[in-house]
Chain A
Amino acid sequence: MKRYAKYLLAVFFLGSIILTACKKVEFDKLATQAWSPNLAVPLAIGEFSVYDILVNQDSSILTVGPDGAIAIVYTESADIVKASDIIALPDQNFNYNGSMAAYGILVVPTFTGTQTYTINQTFPLNNPSGGSLFTIDFRTGNLNIDAETNLMHSVKYDFTFPDLKENGVVVTRSINLNYTGSVPQQGNTAVNLQNAILDLTNGPGGSNEVRVELTITITGSGSPITGTEYVDFGLAMQNLDFDLITGNLGSIALPSFKDTIGLQLFNNISQGVFTLLNPKLEFSFRNSFGIPVDISFNSIKTKEISSGNEFNLTGFPTSFSLTGAPSPGQIAVSTLTITDQNSANLQNILSPTPKLLIYDIGGSTNGANTNFITHDSKINLLGTLTLPLEGYATGFMLRDTIGASIDLDNEFIESAMLRLNIENGFPLEADVRILLVDQNYVLLKDLTNGFKNLIKAAPVNSVGKVTQTATAINDFIITNAELPTVKNTKYIIFEVGGQTFQGNLGTLVKFFDDYKLKLRLGMQVQAKVKI
């Protein structure tokens, strides 16, 4: 047993050492500390073409040339002259006072039996617009016919209007006045002129004349004809409107017309110089009058809204003749194009950040020959300013404000870094200042610490085309101490100063439709979570 005792003793001795060496993990001594992972995530990605950048904020239209070159096109369309501006048909009144002698009626003490007498009258058409009217196709109107006589006999009026036709038939009307013992006798009738055609050329003057043939039939009552009686009638043409007027309308002054094209591309730009080469201002007149028109430009100018300064276009053709439409319902298009070649300063008046293009137009018709006007005749003017995105710009500034909310909790965030990665395919660079402001526009943080070159210009070749993109990566850091302040952000103000690639050197750049700007926004957060 003694032999085993030493082994057992050794075992227990070893066990004692081991057990006394027990070392517990003292979890109750765990101290508070921070868990600080660093997280990086992409926030946004976007690829913007010139269409995305310009069209979304501008009602202008971009056009692409066969080589892909882009131009901004501003258009403004308006009817500068309507038919009612050229000619209007006033109410017409024709009265005839017919004596017995005028009709050739003899004086008799007692008149019995029936006698017929005929007279022809021609009345002038009142045409305040001037010119010679040949025909009128009436759209609306009435011809009211009144008859009155103090003959003590029954009288029948038979009117014939040889130049007025309804559906191709000469218009006639009759009025019967049956004597009942009292005078004067009165009667009336009317003609609806809608769709009636009046030929004004058969009078002795050859135009502007309306002929009437009146036959009266007197049926005797046994009373005398003293020779002092009358047989009168009156014609009143009222509410006249036309579908078509033909004639030699002569020279009618057009009302003055003024229109404006807003150049919204420049809306946010407060200063800078733009030199856009080869601008083109085009006036396209669509004339549906059958009359040539002489157009005169009273002025063409641009105007800065902010300063009110105006810049007049000079040296351009101020007069321009429009051909008349060949036939009713057709349109004659005449276009005047003004460029740097036929003006003195079109490029210049567009350079100083203009906001409005204003043109003032007058003129007159030139109706030397037979011509026409329809009810819907008008002159429509389509003003088009085409600005090829070709040239250079320097020193321009723009500013924009967007609503924003930044919800970064300083309890869990040690710092936050926003990374803006812009791969620019445009020959345009920008120094940008990003300001975080509160609801009262009080500055909370200048995120960029002044202006920073966030967008680098893509270089161009000798013809102004971009040869490669330019990438700029910028980080914006918000520290834990700044977060409580930054949380009050309500707006972000972007102030941008920019120029085209080497715009200060006058390097020509062109914009093509395949240019792209790729934007990547990421965020890296150093978190801080107490555990």
Chain B
Amino acid sequence: MKKISTQLLFVLGLLLSTQTFSHAQKNFGFSSGFQNLPQSHYFNPSWNAKNKIYFSIGTGMHSFGASNSGFALKDILVPRAQDDSLVIDPAGAISKMAKLNYLGFSAQNELFGLGINLKKSYISFGIVNRFDMSFAYPKDFIQLIFEGNGGEFLGKRINMDGLGVNMNSYVEYGFGYNREIGSKWKVGARYKLLSGIANVKTKKSVLGLTTDETTFDLTIDGALDLRTAGIPDSNSTFDLNGAFNFKNRGLAFDFGATFQATEKLKLSGSLLDLGSIKWTQNVQNFSKEDFSYTFRGVDINQAINDTNYFETFQDTLKEIFFVDGNNASYRTALPMRVIVGGTYDVNKLFGVGAVLFSDFTNRKYRPTLMLSGTMHVKNCLFVNVNYTMSSRSAKNIGVGFALKGAGMSYFVTTDNLLGFISPGGAKNFHISTGLGFCIGRDKKAGE
């Protein structure tokens, strides 16, 4: 047991200690096929439930996700040739990695939700907890840990640029409104006041290690611009008052539109999380200008002639690697997303859809395409099967179920069922579920 624990810690520690970041992939399964659920307006403000009133207190929607773009467990844990024991295969995992890889966690929790259907309009208010944390780990960094600097890396720069962490925790207070325009268009928007709890932003992270292939001289180069807010130190704890005191204040907008092209074809698009938060509380920033230092070994001449050589050497290292700090407030943009797609009702029971998600986190474009099929049973049972393909993962099959009736709506959905069935081969794990209360008959159901 001890052996297993050690190995698990090794693997998990390797993943977590990378302190990296990226976008945390969202649970896309919700956004295709469940457009009539009350919670759908989080993906497109022009979507809404058809009931007169929707509300939830703490149960409306909870979405959790984790992803690792670098490798799956099966890539690093492989069966041993002579028996069925598992061994760690770092080369296998490394071969699957990109230059920069991401390990992400995300959560979205609707703490309170209210939606009211007017004649042609829909107004809503919601309080939602948002948490995104992501780590970025360069392939070279992992390779360095497993293989050391003395093999393949001799004479080359070990590129650990991008190594860092991003974390964003805040509560959004959103006021939504949408309205039908004519018979085909429906547009909506949501205005969100944001109260930041904590943030970590690695604005710049450059780190390289070069080992001279002949002399083994070590040259380390790098630069750092790390900004944090609300992160407790050894003398404090998380201040959850940030959830509602608006000391780290932000503002964001969601926009959405739906176009009923034909009776069966509906097109939609949304722009989400267009906004930013200004972080002013408990700010601690760390920065290091571009530096490069080469260690050539103990200088024999100086060590002989200077009795304080090693103290001087330590002082030199401290000076070289000294990180400046300040408490200046800063602003972070929310990870903006653009979702466009369409659904086609094959018949009254079954429809298909396609959605393109565009994520612009850290000024990088990451597209994800989802294809889905949804079965509607009497407008009270929805079963959705979807397939998602992202830039580094093409094995995501998701399912979702939703039930409506008796004044309630319940759903559970994932965009990667295989992540639960065969976690060893999965890079993404997402699940969303929620229970809301509906008053008034569904327009369609009443028709």
Contacting residues of chain A (77-136) with chain B, CB-CB under 8 angstroms: none
Q: Does A519 contact B (CB under 8 A)?
A: yes
Quick one: CB contact mask for B1-23 with A, threshold 8 Å, 1 for yes? 00110111010000000000000
Please give the distance in Å from A21's CB to the nearest CB on chain B. Answer: 6
Quick one: CB contact mask for B283-318 with A, threshold 8 Å, 1 for yes? 000000000000111111100000000000000000
Please give the distance in Å from A224's CB to the nearest CB on chain B. Answer: 95
Whether A41 pairs with B148 at a CB distance below 8 angstroms is no
Given A32-B3, A45-B297, do A40 and B149 touch, yes or no (CB 8 Å)?
A: yes
How many chain B residues sit at the interface, stated as a range, is 35 or more
- Complex CA distance for A43 and B299, rounded to whole angstroms: 9
Q: Does A496 contact B (CB under 8 A)?
A: no
- Complex CA distance for A26 and B85, rounded to whole angstroms: 9
Q: Does B391 contact A (CB under 8 A)?
A: no
Given A38-B148, A46-B300, do A23 and B422 touch, yes or no (CB 8 Å)?
A: yes
Q: Does A28 contact B (CB under 8 A)?
A: yes
Partner of B377, one of A4, A14, A524, A531: A4
- Complex CA distance for A32 and B7, rounded to whole angstroms: 8
- Complex CA distance for A21 and B424, rounded to whole angstroms: 13
The chain B residue with its CB closest to the CB of A524 is B150
Quick one: CB contact mask for B332-347 with A, threshold 8 Å, 1 for yes? 0000000000000000
Quick one: CB contact mask for A1-35 with B, threshold 8 Å, 1 for yes? 00110011001001100110111111111111101
Q: Which of A33, A523, A525 neighbours the largest number of chain B CB atoms within 10 Å of its CB? A: A33
Whether A30 pairs with B4 at a CB distance below 8 angstroms is yes
Whether B86 pairs with A40 at a CB distance below 8 angstroms is no
Whether B85 pairs with A520 at a CB distance below 8 angstroms is no
Q: Does A458 contact B (CB under 8 A)?
A: no
Q: Does A139 contact B (CB under 8 A)?
A: no
- Complex CA distance for A28 and B2, rounded to whole angstroms: 10
Given A7-B349, A531-B88, do A45 and B300 touch, yes or no (CB 8 Å)?
A: yes
Residues of A in contact (CB 8 Å), total 49
Quick one: CB contact mask for A204-247 with B, threshold 8 Å, 1 for yes? 00000000000000000000000000000000000000000000
Please give the distance in Å from A456's CB to the nearest CB on chain B. Answer: 15
Please give the distance in Å from A71's CB to the nearest CB on chain B. Answer: 23
Across chains A and B, the number of contacting residue pairs, with CB separation under 8 Å, is 132
Q: Does A203 contact B (CB under 8 A)?
A: no
Partner of B218, one of A15, A29, A35, A42: A42
Partner of B216, one of A19, A25, A523, A527: A523
Contacts of A44 in B (CB 8 A): 297-300
Q: Does B408 contact A (CB under 8 A)?
A: no
Please give the distance in Å from B348's CB to the nearest CB on chain A. Answer: 10
Whether A33 pairs with B88 at a CB distance below 8 angstroms is yes
Whether A46 pairs with B299 at a CB distance below 8 angstroms is yes
- Complex CA distance for A32 and B2, rounded to whole angstroms: 11
Whether B218 pairs with A41 at a CB distance below 8 angstroms is yes
Contacts of B215 in A (CB 8 A): 42, 419, 421, 520, 522
Would you give 29 A-B contacts (Cβ < 8 Å), ordered by A? A7-B350, A14-B385, A19-B421, A21-B421, A21-B422, A22-B420, A23-B421, A24-B424, A25-B73, A30-B4, A30-B7, A30-B77, A30-B86, A32-B3, A33-B88, A38-B148, A39-B148, A40-B149, A42-B212, A42-B217, A42-B295, A42-B296, A43-B298, A44-B297, A44-B299, A47-B301, A473-B214, A522-B297, A524-B150
Taking A42-B296, A419-B214 as known contacts, 16 extra A-B pairs with beta carbons closer than 8 A to each other, sorted by chain A number, are A3-B349, A4-B378, A11-B375, A11-B383, A23-B424, A28-B4, A29-B86, A30-B88, A40-B154, A40-B211, A42-B217, A45-B297, A419-B215, A421-B215, A520-B297, A525-B150
Binding site for B on A (CB under 8 A): 3-4, 7-8, 11, 14-15, 18-19, 21-33, 35, 37-48, 52, 419, 421, 473, 519-527, 531
